[in-house]
Structure 1
Amino acid sequence: MTPTTFTTSRSRTADVRVTHTSGMDAATLKAARALLFDVFDDMTSEDWEHALGGLHALVHEGGELIGHASVVQRRLLHNGRALRCGYVEGVGVRADRRGRGHGAAMMDALERVIRNAYGLGALSASDEATTFYAARGWQLWRGPSWALSPHGIQRTPDEDGCLYVLPTSAPLDLDADLTCDWREGDVW
């Protein structure tokens, strides 16, 4: 894919490149992993695995990776339907580069992908990020959350109030149940 250039709120230019995991060389993958482990105190190897296998929005400044976000395909069950979802993972900007529009530029790129390829977008937001996502049009999921586990459907009450969706083509009832497909580690 062709890189997208954007101007930040401070009129500095940075490059946002969107590429599939398979198009990232070992050095870029290593830099992205290191960046996310630096940004998030509670990042795990499983969290990193969740961010792989889809499209990555990468921000470089001066040849150095300063921002990462990805969207991966998942299946969510809602109102008796299995929905193809673009699930956002690993959104992070290096601490000394925050507040300059890099996160918004990465989300712009990923939201275009979601709107053009998926029935909805979804993500689990930290408390600090809820205002950011809500301002972008992401909507809080008000209904109960569940996971389709190897042992059947299990409630995930700790995720209630943290899940946000970006409606595209799928009809959604934000007060109904939402069930995610299973994965190791943090299921949402």
Structure 2
Amino acid sequence: MTPMTEVRIAHTADLDAPALDAARALLDEAFEGDLSDHDWEHALGGMHALLWEGAELIGHASVVQRRLLHAGRALRAGYVEGVAVREDRRRRGHGASLMSALEKVIRGAYDLGALSSSDEALPFYAVRGWRLWEGPTFALTPLGIARTEEDDRGVYVLPVAARLKVAGELVCDWRDGDVW
């Protein structure tokens, strides 16, 4: 008999080293070794949704605060990072459970949600009400605003309180590694 699954929400500061190590290991496996130290760092400092099956971690997602610039405003964005479900537990609604927990946080605390997605995950987010950002993307770098064409059509937003023109420009704050 399979143990019950439970999504637990916790801030990075409230997670102990074994939970963080389990999350990092899960993401390393799910992303097939393509998770950089920067990618892991991007997932820290906010709220984590951890999906446990008994004492075993089988899913992770997190939301961190970022600033996005749009239509002359600096918006407080809940940016989703590190979404993964263990391969042998996929296609059972676990990703939806993780995202539901994070979307509750986003709706309660941010102007909008945002994320950058792999091509294969785009339909998953679209079904949940996330909207493709249709306009050009940029990053506010140490040298000024720079175009990020490679990220066009890969950024999704979840409108909450901010009025968004999804065909307009969207600028993200700077960070090491992948900016989106």
| TM class by smaller structure | over 0.9
Equivalent position SS for 2:19:
helix
Give matches, 1:86-125, under 5 Å: 86-125=78-117
Deviation at residue 62 of structure 1 after TM alignment: 2.5
Deviation at residue 141 of structure 1 after TM alignment: 0.1
**How far apart in 2 are the matches of 1:115 and 1:81?**
19
> Out of 118, 121, 146, which is 1:126 matched to?
118
2:15 alignment counterpart: 24
**How far apart in 2 are the matches of 1:102 and 1:153?**
38
TM-score by length of 2: 0.97
Indicate yes or no: 2:145 matched with 1:153: yes
Equivalent position SS for 1:43:
coil
Deviation at residue 86 of structure 1 after TM alignment: 0.1
**How far apart in 1 are the matches of 2:144 and 2:30?**
34
CA deviation vs aligned residue, 1:57-78 (integer Å, no higher than 9, x gap): 0001121000000000000000
TM-score by length of 1: 0.93
Indicate yes or no: 2:180 matched with 1:177: no
Q: Across the two proteins, how many residue pairs are aligned to each other?
A: 178
Which blocks of at least 5 consecutive residues in structure 2 are unaligned? none
Indicate yes or no: 2:45 matched with 1:57: no
CA deviation vs aligned residue, 1:67-121 (integer Å, no higher than 9, x gap): 0000000000001100000000000000000011111001000000101100000
Deviation at residue 165 of structure 1 after TM alignment: 0.2
Deviation at residue 22 of structure 1 after TM alignment: 0.3
**How far apart in 1 are the matches of 2:62 and 2:54?**
21
CA deviation vs aligned residue, 1:4-29 (integer Å, no higher than 9, x gap): xxxxxxx9841000000000000000
CA deviation vs aligned residue, 1:134-164 (integer Å, no higher than 9, x gap): 0000000000000000010000000001000
- Give the share of equivalent positions with the same residue, in percent: 65
The code of the aligned residue for 1:80 comes to G
1:3 alignment counterpart: none
Q: Kindly report structure 1 stretches of 4+ aligned residues shifted beyond 3 Å.
A: none
1:68 alignment counterpart: 60
Deviates more, 1:39-48 or 1:87-96: 39-48
**How far apart in 1 are the matches of 2:54 and 2:7?**
13
**How far apart in 1 are the matches of 2:92 and 2:17?**
28
Q: What's the Cα RMSD here?
A: 1.1
Equivalent position SS for 1:85:
strand
The code of the aligned residue for 1:40 comes to F
**How far apart in 1 are the matches of 2:53 and 2:97?**
13
